[in-house]
Structure formats: C-alpha cells, structure tokens
Structure 1
Amino acid sequence: MLFRRPTPVLPVCLLLLHLSSAQAESAVIRDTETTVVTATKETDLNALNTPNYQILHREDFIDSSQTLGDLLQKINGIQIRQISGLGNPASVSIRGSSSKQVQLYIDGQLINDSQFGGFDVNQLPTEQIDSIEISKSQALGTGSTPIGGVIRINTYNPQIDSARISLASGSFGYREVNLMANKLFTNYSLAAGFSHVQSDNNYSYQVPQNFVVPSISTKEKLANNAYEKNALHLNSEIYLGQHLLRFNMQYTEQRKELANYQNNSPENTSEISSDSWRFGYLHNWQSSHVWLAQVELEAYTQFTDEIYLEQPTGVMNKRANYQSVKSFAGIKPTLNAGDLVITPFINFNHQIFESTTVLKGQATPCNGINSCDVTASQQQLNYGTRLEWPIVQLALTPYALISQSQEQNANSVLNKSGSKHIDEQDYTTQELGITYQPNKFNAVVDDRFDFSAFLTWSNGVRAPTLFEMFGDRGSFKGNPNLQPEEAKTLSLGSTVSYANLSFTGAFYQQQLVNSIVAIFNSSNVGSYSNVSQAELTGLELQANYKVSSDLSLMLQTNLIDSNTQSEYTAYHNKRLPGIYHQQYSAGIRYAITEHWQINLNSNIDNELYFNRANVFDSVGNSTENPANRLTTDLQLGWKKERFTAHLAINNLFDDEYQDLANRPAQGRNIQFKIAIKEI
C-alpha cells in the first residue's frame, strides 16, 4: 500500500535559493571540445507546420495565469470539458473525439489511465511547461495512432542560468505561487520548480433545494468546493561526448472538496485527494555512423495514491482508496538509407490498479448495491516502424506509420471469491500522409509568400479500458467481450500567407465503428456495449491579419456535423454528445505602448448535447439549448526588463453559461499575476 507523503516545501525552497545564489557567480562556459547533443523530440521527424500539427512555446503563455486547459481551448478544433470550477478534472476533445480517444504525454510518458482511460489536462502547472505540441488525428512521431489525436507536454529544462518567481491572485479566493531556478555547469544542467495553487471556488450558484427550506430554490455561494495543489519538478541533464542522459521527477499533491449541488449543505465535508510521483529517464546517443543517426532509450514509472471521502453530513460514511503504478520502457533507433528515414520502435507498458473501499469502518460487500474492490493490470507491447522520405525536387514529404499492439488484461475482485477475468487483444493502427512545402526546400523566390498543403489518412484505435471490460460498481457491470473503438480519418488542408495576411483551413471526415456506450436494461442494470457507429465531418478555418507592428486581428471558425447509426433507438440518428458543433472566435491584439499590450477575445459556442440521446433539461420552460454561450475575455499585459504584470478578466460580461453537467458555471472572474525573472 502506498503511503501519503508530505509536500517537500522546505527542501525545495532551499534548493531554489541555492541555485539562485549560484546565479550571481560567473557563468561557466562549456568546453568547446565537448560534443553537445540535444534530445530529438518525437516531432523532429514530423515537423509539419500544418493545421494537423501545432506547437505552443513557453513565451506564448508564461506571463498569464492560465491553466493548460485555458491554453488548449484557444486552439481551433480543441474543446475543453470541465465541470464546476478549478480542481475538477478537465478533459480534452479534439475534432469531436471523446477524451479517452486522445493521448496525453508528459516528457514522453503516456498519462492516460488504463483503468478508466482518461486524464486531467490541468495536472501540470503551466509555469513548469516548456512547450505544448498538438497533433490532430495522428500520432506524434512514433507509437500507436489514436482516434482523437495527441497532446505532448515538454517540461521546462533551459540550458542557461536563470531564476524566476511569480505570484497571482484572483476571484473566488484564487492564489498562486511559482518558484523556478536553473543552473548550467560544464557538462551538466539542473532545473527545479515549485508551484502552489489554491482556490475557494465559492462562486454563486442556484441551489435547487435550500438546505433550511427544501421547498425553495436560492442563489448561494457554493460551499465545500475548495481546491489546493502543490507541484514540484526536477530536471537534470548530463552530457558525455555523444551521449545525453536526462532525468526528471514530478511530484503532485492535490486536494479537492466535493460540493453538494442539490442543497449546498454546510455539513458536507466530502473530498478527494491524491499524491503522485513520476520518475523518468532518457538516454539519447548521437551516432557517428552514416546509416545510424541516433538511438533513444526511454523509461519511466509513476505511483499514484488517491483517496475519496464521502462525508455528506460531516461524519465519515465512505472511504475509497485507489492506487496505481505505471511502468514503461522503450527503444527507438533512427536509421538513414539515402533520403529515406526509418524509425523502428518497440515499447513495453505495464499498469497496475487497486481499489479498497470501507463503509462506516467496515469492508464493503460486493453485491448489487455496493462497489466491488478490484485489482487490475494491463501489459502492453507496442512495436512498429515509421518511414519518411523527403522528395526535394517536388517539395514533397510523404510518410507512413504502422503500429502493432498486443495487450493482456486481468481483473480480480477482492471482496468476492472466485471472480477473475483475463482478456487478450491485438490491434493494428496505420497512418499515411504527404505534405507539400515549397518554402522548406527553397523552391519559392518570394519570401513574403508561403504555401503548404497536406493530405493524411489514419486508422486509429481506442482499446476498451479495464473498467469498461471488468468494472463492477454495484448494479453496473463490465463487459469482457468489448471490441476496440476504431476510426478511419481523412483530413486535408493548407496554409497560405502573403505579407501580413495568413489563412489556414482544414477539412476532415471520420468513420467511427464499435462505439463503446453504457447501456441499462429494464432492471436498471448497466454495462458497456459496442452499440453504434458514427460519421463526423468537420471544417476548421482561421485567418490572421497583422494590420501594423502594433495591431493584429484573428478570426476562427470550427464547424462539426455528426450523426450516429445504431440498432438502439435512443442512439440512432443522433448528434455526438459533449461537444459544441458550432464555434466562432474573434480576437484583437494591440500594443498600446512599448511596455503595454491588450488582448480581447470573444467566442460563440452553439449546439452542445449533454448525452447520447440528445436530451437536456430546458431552462424556464424554454426549448433552447441551455449551454449555448457567448463569452468575452480581456487581458492586459505590462512588461519591462525583468518584470511582468498581467491582468485577466474572463467572461467579461458575466454570462453564467451551463457547464457540461448542465449546471450554471462561474461567471465573471478576475486574475492578476506579477513575475520577476533573473532574480
């Protein structure tokens, strides 16, 4: 059993102070005779500047007090799903996908949970991020092809001496503190960071049943909804000739109170808390052989301990403990055969999950009312090859990626004898693509004009989670006969720019089969089934115009048309749930002076359905979709030498739109952040 560990605040502060004092020393210049190598990212082989691939750099977001979810939802085609304020898990939809169909990587580690399939995109503070890579409907470099796409987060690990401190405060008791420090030695570098975030989350909420007088509905500040997180990260690199060794560690401790949305009870003390440790290792060898460019060896492990306390009346009623261990090892050489780049790879992934539930101090029985405690495991072997062949004469770069996965899944019920399930699955994913980039191959004389186009086809797979196959939550049962979800996606688009005007467009069509849906029978017993297939067509358009060196404009459009086909009437001829089918955005950025800048963005989001039957509760007997929303965000920034200040007013006009659970979300909120670098 994993034990909860206290946050190592004092050691972190001492380390940061040590690195900061070392900053004052004279800079150490590396020996010029030493061969310096840098880790080649997955996307180096797929650096296609197209609507299918985008990257956010640290300087794009570091000065604002925003979560990763805030940043991603500004990308055309990405939607963030979050319920009830900071601290609740925020999931991602890319081009209409479910969050389980999107892969999230942090420093090469796949964060998706094998038990439930999801992830919280806000688990890593933005201050600890160096860059964010987004690939839509495709893998990033190597690995299995997902249905929805990939988000890869690279943590901050600069090759310079620096230090930084930032403070933020905002509405609903929001407070944030970040400390960062980096030190460069001759053949060694070290980066460390600590972050603390907390929020009362006590925004006003329309309570259906008042706690004192249940017959009336009142608007009150949401109680027992506070959130707190501490995060520490350490990165170090060692350079030994042609070898780069990188070690990283991430520790996160967080606690989220769970509000009672029905009556906002002041006696409620329910909460969920977690500790998570992640250790990673990367060895990159830059070879001197003509045919062998490099070899990359990667490994990581992660331990997570999560505790859920259900205490609606202030007295402990239920305690659930969820523990998981993830381990990964992989090797990936890069081979050259003339202009052909070949990247074979093999990865091994092992995950273990265990749950323990206690009800009023006693172990819970496994029956049709209570949950069953389980121990589950998944072993996955993934191997394949990526081929890329630049054709300089035609300014074309075609590529192909094929991946094979072999899984062995097991599940045992702890509080019920003789209940064990074992399942094995094999599946293959493929990608084919070609990109036309004349400027990349110096085929265009006019450097003011740039044009690129791409065409890709992918066959992505989302394997069922362990809970979907074996889960047991009282009257909800797993289904060991589930087939993986599979989607074939065709996408094409282009980017055109001339002088100060640029235009980006992408069209995509996806055919999804074996959609996994929860189905309940007449006895109200539910389980997951492969019940439907869906067709999805989308269009993404974006225009940017730089009016002058001080003023720039942006317009975005994201349109999705979806339809499902199923033998179940409730899921037949319906729109996909949980996504907005129409989104429009407009933004303006203006440099007021040398030091002041203002950004204004407005967004219109329409046509969201809360469930697969496309049923939602109306507001005031209206038949309109209650989640349609118009939001406007205002940001004012100031920067001078080592100092920055940032003011953000989100939801400027206090539009209390519905969240994804069809509950009123927080209205206008204000955040202010200051930062000092090179302290």
Structure 2
Amino acid sequence: MPSVATVAILLLLALPAGAGQEKDDATGDPVEQTVVIRSSRLGGEDAAGMVEHVAISSEEAASDDLPAVVGRTVGVQVRTLGGLGSYGVASIRGSTPEQVPVYLDGILLNAGGFAAVNLADFALEGIESLEVWRGAAPARLGWSGLAGAIVLHGRRPRGRRLEMQAGAGSWSSLRGMLSLAGRWRRSDFLVLGSLLSSRGDFLYLNRNGTLYYQADDRIMPRQNNASLAGNLLLKLHSRLGEDWNLEVGADSFARRQGIAGIDSLPTTFASLKTFRQLLQGRLSRAGEDWAAGLELSLLYLHEDFDDSHTPHGELGLGRQHTLASTWAATAAGWFEYQAGGQSGTARLEGRYENFSHHDQVSDREVPGKDRFALAANYRHRWPSGKRFGLEPSARGELQYSHFPGGPLPGGLGEQQPQDSLRPYWQAAISAWYQPLPVLRLLLSAGRSSRPPSLAELFGDRGSVIGNPRLRAESAWRGDAGLRYDRRLPGNRLGLRLEGALFASRASDLITYVQNSQSSVRPENIAAADIMGVESSLRLELWQSLSLQANYTYLHAVNRSSVSYYRGKRLPGRPAHEAWARLEYRWRAPGHAWKLWLDVDYAGANYLDAANLKEDALARLLLGAGLSFRHRRSGLMLILEVRNLLDTITLADGSGRLRPLRDFEAFPLPGLTALVTLRYHVDWGEEP
C-alpha cells in the first residue's frame, strides 16, 4: 500500500499506542543451476558504486518473496507490516523508502503520488535477478537516490520450457505459477502467470494498548489481514537483421487485501486494492565499439482505499473511500562508446506524470496534478592502465509541475492553482585501484537529490495537504571499499571478502507534520548525519558447502530543526544487523539435495522519530530449508521455514513481553512454513 496506507500509518502512529543446464562433475548428468550470486564488483561496469548482484534461484522463486530477498543484502533494511504479501519498504544506508528508487527492467516505479515502492507488489517468480546499488548508481539508471537504488530484472525468454508450480503453507497460504517460454522464427517469447493468497491470521500478542499492565494481554489471531495477488508477464525479444534487437513487454499486477489496523484495534472491513500495469519497448543496436538504443514505457498505478463501512471508519482517520491513479510515460535514448582506452555513457530522457484522486464518500473529483521532466546524464571512464580507473558522472533535470487547484482535505477550503519550475542536479566521482590481482580498492563521493513528489507538492487524497514551497531533499556522501576475491584451481576453495566505510549528510529532508486531526503537511524541517560500516563474506568448499554472511553497522542521527527530533536516532534503523546462511549441496546420479540454515539478527531500535515510544528489542530469527530435485523427471520439492523458533514475543529488561514488530503497533508473524512442488520440461536447446 504505497500511498494511502503510508499516510494512514503515519497518522495511526500518532495515536496512543533457475538458469540453464550444466554437467555434474561427479555423475555426468545434467543439473539445473540454482546458484545464488551475491557479489560486489568494484570497477569495470560497476565502478560508480558498490553493488550486490542477486540471481534468483529456483528455490527462492518458489518459496520466497522480494522483501525477504532484498532484506538479506548488506546495507539494506526492509520493514514489513507482517504476513505474506504485506506492505514492505526498503531503506539503503539509512535512507527513507521515498529516497530509494526502484526500477523494473529499467523503468522507474517511484511516480506521482506513489513516492515509496511497496516491494511486496512483485511476484518473485517473475524476477530473474536484482541489483542493490549502495552509494552511486550507474548513469544508465537516471536518478540514483540519496543512498542507492534497487534494480529488478524481470524474467527473460530463454529456450523452450514449460514450468508449473503449486505450494501451500501457514495461514491457509496458497501459491501457484505457470509459465511458457519458446521461440518462433527470430523471436523468443515468455508468458508467465502467478497467484498468491493468504489469510494472514497469524497469532500475535495483543496488549490492548496498556503497555505496562499485563493482565489484559492475550494471544489472538490477526484479523482482516487476508491478501490475494496475481501477476501476468508477457515478453517478446526479436532480432531484426544482424545488428538490431527489439524487446517489448507487458507486466500486470493486482492485489486485494485487508488492512488489519494497529494490534490493539483490529478491523473487520477496511481494505485496499492495488493495480500496476507496465508497458515497455526497447530498440537497440550494437557496433564494434559502440551501442545505442531507444526506450519507451508507460506505467499506470491505481489504488482503491476503502474504510467507509462504518460511520466513523475503523482506522481512526474518519470515514474514507478514495481512488488514486498515476500515469507515467517515459521516452529515453542512450549511447555508449569506447575509444582510446576510454568509455562513456550518455542518456537523454523525457518523462510525464499525472496524479489524480477521487473522494468516493463526498463524490468530489480533485483535478489531476501534472509534471513534465527533461533530464540528461553522462558518465565517463578513464582507465589508467589495468590497475587504476577514474569515473565521473553527472545528471541534470528540469521539472515543471502544475496543479489547477481544488478542495483541501477535510473540508479545509480550496487550494489555489500552483505551478513549479525547478532544476535539480546530482554528481559523483569514483576511483578504483587494483594493487593485486585478487584485491581491488574503491573510493567514491558525490551529491544526490530527491525532488518532492506530486503528492508532497500539491496534496494527497484525503490526508496530505500539499506544500508547493518544498525544496528537494539532498545529501553529500562518500564511501571507501575493498574486495578480496580468491579461487583455487578445481573449485576446491572460493573466498570473497568485501568491506566498506560510508558517510552522508542529508539536508532539507521532508517530514510530515500534523496539520489537523485528520491531515498532515510535508515540511523541509529534517536533516540527518549517517555513517556506517558494511562487510560481507562468501566461502565455498568443493562446490558442496558454502557460507554467506554480512554485517552492517549504522549510526543514523536526526539533525532536525525541531527540538524533540534533534539528536535522536532515525526510526527503524538498527545500529547492528547481520545475516548468514550455511548451505550444503549433495549431488548423486539422477537427483540432488540442498539444505540451508539462515540466521537473521537485528539490534534494538526506536520506531518513532522522537524516540519517546517503546523501542523494538533486538531479535535473532532462524530459518531453514530443504530442496530435492529429480533431474530426469523435472520435478523439484522445496520446503522452507521462516522464524523456526516461532518467536512472536520478546522480553524486555523487566520481564514484560513485547510483540515482534518492524512498525509500531504492527506485529510480525511467528513460524511460517511453505512447501512447494515445481515441475519443468524442456523441448529444445537453449538459445
């Protein structure tokens, strides 16, 4: 629930309380690769910043979700409201979710009134791989965010394959997928559909709003937390002649879910419907030392928020039923070249956004808000030999935003027509040095910015009063990193060590300030100092045993001009986070096994900006999984268990129990199990 729910949460918190085929070395039988690649490449194409590449394995696609996968990467915090399909947003190096751009196949999804992207609104079956950029992001992306970006790569047509899967698990959860990939003449196509449903009625501790009185505490099932989601993906890749490539795609996602409300005030009827439609086309051509392309995309986002079934609403925000929609159209051209040992990337982009909403209760249509943007960015790379490289990049953008006027939320009058014409810019410079073949060092510094969204400038549906005088959020940042990568002959041992120090100073951060009992207004009153340490490890032994681990230390302090925020820790950013996975793979003629154990630790942290409410206690969660693959039949069985010890409460220093949670008053589930049967059959060679 990217927009209405975000504002609802803010006001509620203010109330009291798979790949191709390869040969197995031991058996000679074909075996499908399911290796999860987690690595940071410093220099080369990734010299602009530190990045973690994650290839989605068959096991993850069948039993995981995107918030969990992204949350396991170093330097990233993902917070959810609890349950399969529940709202989940990411923070990179202490940034806010609104400051994290999310791209799907190169298309920016932060648009109009949807400034933060809900990671739960993506079916993992349709994602082939992802990148999490920390610090500077490459010029090909466009906007890189204040601390990094998340780039999702959808499934691509590969070979001729039919795939089916069905799964069931905790809280009456059901999961299914059907996909068909093939080739016709000089074109490859993919059709994929998936469904996910869950009642979400996990057990949690309801303290009835009395934090220090335990006699009325009780364990009860979560109400009105059901979710039903579906995804349809269509892709076509064609080769036009010898040099041209055409890619077209359509990605549709729909979800209907209940809004459970805060833990002590369960709801019965409040609901949210979301819909996303993405259409895109890409034409590209590659020469001997150059490449160029044109991209067109159309993004439609729609949200139906309904809390009108009772006279005063169930969420404490009054009776509401609002429809909100965003259209975003983008046209871009890019050019890459290499000459004289140097290379460059240029991108020119035009974008149009429209955000509109309708109040169903009062039957009032608010005129749409429009934005036109023209942006250009360029990256150049000077390699001084093979051991040193320098890469500057810059982006400039001009935005014109317009609002014809309309009613203010809560019957507070009329808002006058507003116009805004503003330039924005960001720049970065990176250098890398390789003193040894197995060791690479990186330095990076730059300035990033985030223009206010249309909803922040001109208002949201029913809850946010716009502020046309908002300035762009901005941050100066720097980082220093290293990577050690060593592999012995015969794949007997592989070792990758990575580490980074980072710091940033952000200013003009946008904070929602209570404007009335039922509305908020965004203001540029916040600033923040952020610094931290990232480290990661990957160890592989004989292609059978592997260990992945990462640790992040984050010191994030609010430097707001508001006295009761100044000097406080930024909410939802634990000082210490760690994740590790131990995995064992065993192969035999005709079949293969995989076992894994996860450990996930998050330190104590505050969940409110003033650090006055009860903090979230440190937690240690375990997970485990098992997969069995019968190669010749194409069958695969996956069992995954999260929160293995069924932790739903944590005891504080005085012995009082507190619910497990990421957001104040929104509990997280205990033990979650999902078993999935997957089948595939190939009837042709890989392209």
Task: Note the C-alpha offset of 1:518.
Answer: 2.0
Determine the structure 2 residue equivalent to 1:590. 584
Q: Indicate if the aligned counterparts of 1:46 and 1:140 stay in contact, CA closer than 8 A.
A: no
- Assess, with a 3 A threshold, how the Cα gap between structure 1 residues 356 and 44 changes in structure 2: closer, same or farther: farther
Counterpart of 2:483 in structure 1: which amino acid?
A: T
**Aligned counterpart for 1:347 among listed residues 338, 346, 349:** 349
Task: Note the C-alpha offset of 1:418.
Answer: 6.2
Q: Indicate if the aligned counterparts of 2:264 and 2:665 stay in contact, CA closer than 8 A.
A: no
Q: Indicate if the aligned counterparts of 1:50 and 1:494 stay in contact, CA closer than 8 A.
A: no
Alignment partners' CA distance in 2, 1:265 and 1:73: 28
Q: Indicate if the aligned counterparts of 1:63 and 1:644 stay in contact, CA closer than 8 A.
A: no
Counterpart of 1:325 in structure 2: which amino acid?
A: W
Alignment partners' CA distance in 2, 1:278 and 1:384: 24
For 1:131, what is the secondary structure of its paired residue? strand
**Aligned counterpart for 1:644 among listed residues 636, 647, 665:** 636
Alignment partners' CA distance in 2, 1:409 and 1:638: 55
Determine the structure 2 residue equivalent to 1:200. 199
Q: Indicate if the aligned counterparts of 2:62 and 2:638 stay in contact, CA closer than 8 A.
A: yes
**Aligned counterpart for 2:382 among listed residues 380, 383, 389:** 389
Alignment partners' CA distance in 1, 2:462 and 2:194: 39
Counterpart of 1:246 in structure 2: which amino acid?
A: E
For 1:589, what is the secondary structure of its paired residue? strand
Alignment partners' CA distance in 2, 1:348 and 1:643: 47
Alignment partners' CA distance in 2, 1:103 and 1:399: 22
Q: Indicate if the aligned counterparts of 2:61 and 2:124 stay in contact, CA closer than 8 A.
A: no
Determine the structure 2 residue equivalent to 1:634. 624
- Assess, with a 3 A threshold, how the Cα gap between structure 1 residues 539 and 265 changes in structure 2: closer, same or farther: closer
Task: Note the C-alpha offset of 1:394.
Answer: 4.2
- Assess, with a 3 A threshold, how the Cα gap between structure 1 residues 475 and 133 changes in structure 2: closer, same or farther: closer
Determine the structure 1 residue equivalent to 2:160. 161
Task: Note the C-alpha offset of 1:132.
Answer: 0.7
Determine the structure 1 residue equivalent to 2:402. 410
Determine the structure 2 residue equivalent to 1:457. 445
Alignment partners' CA distance in 1, 2:224 and 2:311: 11
For 2:279, what is the secondary structure of its paired residue? strand
Structure 1 residues 339-488: aligned runs within 5 Å: 339-359=341-361, 362-363=362-363, 373-391=366-384, 393-415=385-407, 419-437=416-434, 444=437, 450-471=438-459, 477-488=465-476
Structure 1 residues 65-214: aligned runs within 5 Å: 65-142=63-140, 143-209=142-208
The answer to whether structure 1 residue 226 and structure 2 residue 226 are counterparts is yes
Q: Indicate if the aligned counterparts of 2:662 and 2:668 stay in contact, CA closer than 8 A.
A: yes
So what's the TM-score if we normalise by structure 1? 0.83
Counterpart of 2:442 in structure 1: which amino acid?
A: F
So what's the TM-score if we normalise by structure 2? 0.82
Determine the structure 2 residue equivalent to 1:554. 548
Counterpart of 1:110 in structure 2: which amino acid?
A: L
For 2:455, what is the secondary structure of its paired residue? helix
Alignment partners' CA distance in 1, 2:662 and 2:431: 39
Q: Indicate if the aligned counterparts of 1:626 and 1:662 stay in contact, CA closer than 8 A.
A: no
Counterpart of 1:585 in structure 2: which amino acid?
A: W
Q: Indicate if the aligned counterparts of 2:328 and 2:352 stay in contact, CA closer than 8 A.
A: yes
Determine the structure 1 residue equivalent to 2:21. none
Deviation per CA, 1:321-342, whole angstroms, max 9, x where unpaired?
Answer: 1121110000011233322212
Counterpart of 1:457 in structure 2: which amino acid?
A: A
Task: Note the C-alpha offset of 1:314.
Answer: 9.9
Unaligned runs of 5+ in 2: 1-40, 210-214, 314-318, 408-412, 649-659, 683-687
- Assess, with a 3 A threshold, how the Cα gap between structure 1 residues 524 and 387 changes in structure 2: closer, same or farther: same
CA RMSD of aligned residues (A): 2.7
Determine the structure 1 residue equivalent to 2:646. 654
Task: Note the C-alpha offset of 1:548.
Answer: 4.4
Counterpart of 2:637 in structure 1: which amino acid?
A: A
**Aligned counterpart for 2:502 among listed residues 492, 508, 511:** 508
- Assess, with a 3 A threshold, how the Cα gap between structure 1 residues 523 and 147 changes in structure 2: closer, same or farther: same
Q: Indicate if the aligned counterparts of 2:105 and 2:151 stay in contact, CA closer than 8 A.
A: yes
Of 323-332 and 463-472, more deviation after overlay is shown by: 463-472
Task: Note the C-alpha offset of 1:167.
Answer: 1.1
Deviation per CA, 1:26-69, whole angstroms, max 9, x where unpaired?
Answer: xxxxxxxxxxxxxxxxx999533898112112337545411111
For 2:457, what is the secondary structure of its paired residue? helix
Q: Indicate if the aligned counterparts of 2:456 and 2:464 stay in contact, CA closer than 8 A.
A: no
Alignment partners' CA distance in 2, 1:302 and 1:422: 24
Of 547-556 and 221-230, more deviation after overlay is shown by: 547-556
For 1:182, what is the secondary structure of its paired residue? strand
Determine the structure 2 residue equivalent to 1:326. 328
Alignment partners' CA distance in 2, 1:298 and 1:319: 37
**Aligned counterpart for 1:296 among listed residues 293, 296, 301:** 293
For 2:368, what is the secondary structure of its paired residue? strand
Task: Note the C-alpha offset of 1:547.
Answer: 4.4
Counterpart of 2:69 in structure 1: which amino acid?
A: L
- Assess, with a 3 A threshold, how the Cα gap between structure 1 residues 526 and 259 changes in structure 2: closer, same or farther: closer
Determine the structure 2 residue equivalent to 1:36. none
Determine the structure 2 residue equivalent to 1:278. 278
Deviation per CA, 1:270-292, whole angstroms, max 9, x where unpaired?
Answer: 2111232211000001236x6xx
Task: Note the C-alpha offset of 1:79.
Answer: 1.2
Alignment partners' CA distance in 1, 2:144 and 2:275: 30
Structure 1 residues 309-320: aligned runs within 5 Å: 309-313=306-310, 318-320=320-322
For 1:467, what is the secondary structure of its paired residue? helix
Q: Indicate if the aligned counterparts of 2:101 and 2:143 stay in contact, CA closer than 8 A.
A: no
Q: Indicate if the aligned counterparts of 1:341 and 1:387 stay in contact, CA closer than 8 A.
A: yes
Aligned residues: 603
For 1:573, what is the secondary structure of its paired residue? coil
For 2:581, what is the secondary structure of its paired residue? strand
Task: Note the C-alpha offset of 1:269.
Answer: 1.8
- Assess, with a 3 A threshold, how the Cα gap between structure 1 residues 556 and 139 changes in structure 2: closer, same or farther: closer
Counterpart of 1:282 in structure 2: which amino acid?
A: R
Q: Indicate if the aligned counterparts of 1:207 and 1:261 stay in contact, CA closer than 8 A.
A: no
Alignment partners' CA distance in 2, 1:250 and 1:138: 28
Counterpart of 2:191 in structure 1: which amino acid?
A: A
Counterpart of 2:559 in structure 1: which amino acid?
A: Q
For 1:69, what is the secondary structure of its paired residue? helix
Task: Note the C-alpha offset of 1:514.
Answer: 1.2
- Assess, with a 3 A threshold, how the Cα gap between structure 1 residues 60 and 96 changes in structure 2: closer, same or farther: farther
Q: Indicate if the aligned counterparts of 2:334 and 2:348 stay in contact, CA closer than 8 A.
A: yes
Determine the structure 2 residue equivalent to 1:245. 246
Q: Indicate if the aligned counterparts of 1:402 and 1:428 stay in contact, CA closer than 8 A.
A: yes
Task: Note the C-alpha offset of 1:472.
Answer: 5.6
Task: Note the C-alpha offset of 1:179.
Answer: 0.7
Q: Indicate if the aligned counterparts of 1:627 and 1:659 stay in contact, CA closer than 8 A.
A: no
Unaligned runs of 5+ in 1: 1-42, 365-371, 445-449, 618-624
Task: Note the C-alpha offset of 1:485.
Answer: 1.0
Alignment partners' CA distance in 2, 1:162 and 1:271: 38
Deviation per CA, 1:378-415, whole angstroms, max 9, x where unpaired?
Answer: 11111121112233x34223211111011111224444
Q: Indicate if the aligned counterparts of 1:279 and 1:302 stay in contact, CA closer than 8 A.
A: yes
Q: Indicate if the aligned counterparts of 2:112 and 2:328 stay in contact, CA closer than 8 A.
A: no
The answer to whether structure 1 residue 533 and structure 2 residue 533 are counterparts is no
Of 668-677 and 554-563, more deviation after overlay is shown by: 554-563
Of 457-466 and 608-617, more deviation after overlay is shown by: 608-617
Counterpart of 1:651 in structure 2: which amino acid?
A: N
For 1:389, what is the secondary structure of its paired residue? strand
Deviation per CA, 1:199-227, whole angstroms, max 9, x where unpaired?
Answer: 100111334559xxxx9554321222110
Deviation per CA, 1:563-596, whole angstroms, max 9, x where unpaired?
Answer: 2223321121111112122112333112355422
**Aligned counterpart for 1:518 among listed residues 507, 512, 522:** 512
Determine the structure 1 residue equivalent to 2:685. none
Alignment partners' CA distance in 1, 2:346 and 2:228: 43
Counterpart of 2:149 in structure 1: which amino acid?
A: V
Counterpart of 2:230 in structure 1: which amino acid?
A: N
Q: Indicate if the aligned counterparts of 1:51 and 1:505 stay in contact, CA closer than 8 A.
A: no
- Assess, with a 3 A threshold, how the Cα gap between structure 1 residues 161 and 473 changes in structure 2: closer, same or farther: closer
Task: Note the C-alpha offset of 1:667.
Answer: 0.6
